[in-house]
Chain A
Amino acid sequence: MDWVNTIVQGVLLGGLYTLFATGLSLVFGIMRVVNLAHGDFIILAAFLGVVAIGIAGLHPFLTLLIVVPLMFGLGYLIQRGLLSLTLDRGVLPPLLVTFGLSIIIQNLLLEIFSADDRRLDAGWIETASVRLGGQVAIGWYPLIVFAAAVLAIAALQVLFSRTALGRAFRATADDQETVRLMGIDSRHTYGLAVAIAFAIIALAGVFLGIRTTFSPDIGPGRLLVAFETVVIGGLGSLWGTLVGGVVLGVAHAIGAKIDPAYRELAGHLVFLLVLLIRPQGLFARPVRDA
């Protein structure tokens, strides 16, 4: 029965991992850019939560009202002002520039906030749980995060498949030259894509900060989790990212149950297993050529 508990915890942890991964998947899916600073932006969002609490004394959930729009705007500016200059020049420039951003963010945060561990204190909700069938306890907070992840994925799915903006995103990802013939400014489209990705990063950062302690240096570790989630789930599939998050979350939970030191190793082993058996990911969309 204890194992059931473990697996349930792992599934719910997968919700947080899905939020980590969605922004990365979005940017890569539309622009073919891997943002190496992705994890650091998650931590940046968590620290923005710290600032919002410090200034306005808000409950961490309410800081989302500030941090999400702020990160949305930051994402748009970073794309239009910086990342756009690296596109169409091969694989290396975006990697180098985002790697540089990663270092800058980590050291900026270190300078401003010091290396101390931080938490976003959400009060009683962090430990409240509901008992199911005697042996299994489900924490309210992980459930909320999981629900947020599902909502985010569902909302993005609707955006992509049913709206004019979603059509513009997909068409821009297909052929950013021809999309301009449709009267669509592909620079603006890319900006919006990164802005949306950063809004989800903001969610991920604040939810991370409530769940666990964080410090300026743990960004790259989050990037790794996001990356493994996307690869396991399969590129191009939003719901696949959710499955990937759950698989990784369960792997981490089971690994930690065996021995806390095995937690991440279990995740890496599952990741390698997926690469061996189905390298395109569990739910990869087939690549289509016109």
Chain B
Amino acid sequence: MSLLSVRSLAAFYGDFQALFDVSLDVEAGEIVAIIGANGAGKSTFLRSVVGLNASARETIRFDGQPIGGRPTHEIVARGIALVPEGRRIFPSLTVEENLLIGRHHGRGGRWSLARIYELFPVLAQRRAVAGPALSGGEQQMLAIGRALMSNPRLLLLDEVSLGLAPIIVHDLYRRLPSIIGEGTTAVIVEQDVSQALGVCDRLYCFQEGRITLTGTPRQLTRDQISAAYFGV
């Protein structure tokens, strides 16, 4: 049984349909990448999984249980954490408070405040600083740390490379496998195809709300990916 199982998922923003009949599986322990151009529906997909976008009950199953249509705070409590697009750290809270609130509804596990500070020493140095004073890269580390604090079984990362300098992106992706670690499953939404290919076990390509390609990095050629990405 897959950890996350999605069948015929549709998503709407008002009258605009962003996802059409999306079906995919994520097995426990995998790192799955979702690539695609802007507006392909990748972020919408992650938002649907955590309940920020409405979905039908049976379209999403986590650990065998249907979670479609459940409120977000309930879904998250089952062990899913999302690092949202644009970081969305809380400006009124300090770095440490942002991390602590990530633990609000957490389970026990390897991640604690101390371990997050070990992982991202720059956060420890700036623990009493308010969120907005951090650089883009630091904010991204904070957002990831905040998600890890709940010790999730499924970690969803939405466009972590957005707005960051290439060297920061490179460093982040280099460390990502150890951040995700043993026992955690991850779905990474990413526009930067090379970074995604370098770190995932399998990938899905979205284009205009549909899945156009799936496979492992070794199986797929550059041409195949381009075709699926741009729909040409």
Contact = CB atoms under 8 A, between A and B. Distances in A.
Interface of A: 164, 167-168, 170-171, 173-175, 177-186, 288-290
Given A164-B100, A168-B101, A288-B132, A185 B71 contact: yes
A174 B73 contact: no
Interface of B: 50-52, 71-73, 76-77, 81-82, 84, 87-93, 97, 100-102, 104-106, 130-132, 139, 146-147, 150
Nearest to B149: A182
A180 B131 CA distance: 18
Contacts of B147: 181
B92 A183 contact: no
B132 A170 contact: no
Nearest to B105: A183
A182 B51 CA distance: 13
9 nearest interchain CB pairs?
Answer: A183-B105, A180-B72, A288-B91, A178-B88, A290-B91, A170-B92, A171-B90, A174-B90, A183-B76
Contacts of B89: 290
Contacts of B97: 167
Contact of B88 (A167, A183, A290): A290
Given A180-B76, A183-B73, A170 B93 contact: yes
30 contacts: A164-B104, A167-B93, A167-B100, A167-B101, A168-B101, A170-B90, A171-B92, A171-B93, A177-B52, A178-B88, A180-B72, A181-B76, A182-B73, A182-B101, A182-B102, A182-B104, A183-B77, A183-B150, A184-B73, A185-B73, A186-B73, A288-B92, A288-B130, A289-B91, A289-B132, A290-B87, A290-B89, A290-B90, A290-B91, A290-B139
B219 to A, nearest CB: 33
Given A181-B84, A185-B73, A290 B132 contact: yes
Contact of B91 (A174, A179, A181, A183): A174
A129 B51 CA distance: 60
Contacts of A288: 91-92, 130, 132
Nearest to A170: B92
Contact of A184 (B93, B105, B139): B105
Nearest to A172: B90
Given A167-B93, A171-B93, A178 B76 contact: no
Contacts of A178: 84, 88, 90
A181 B50 contact: yes
Nearest to A186: B73
Contacts of A170: 90, 92-93
A174 B76 contact: no
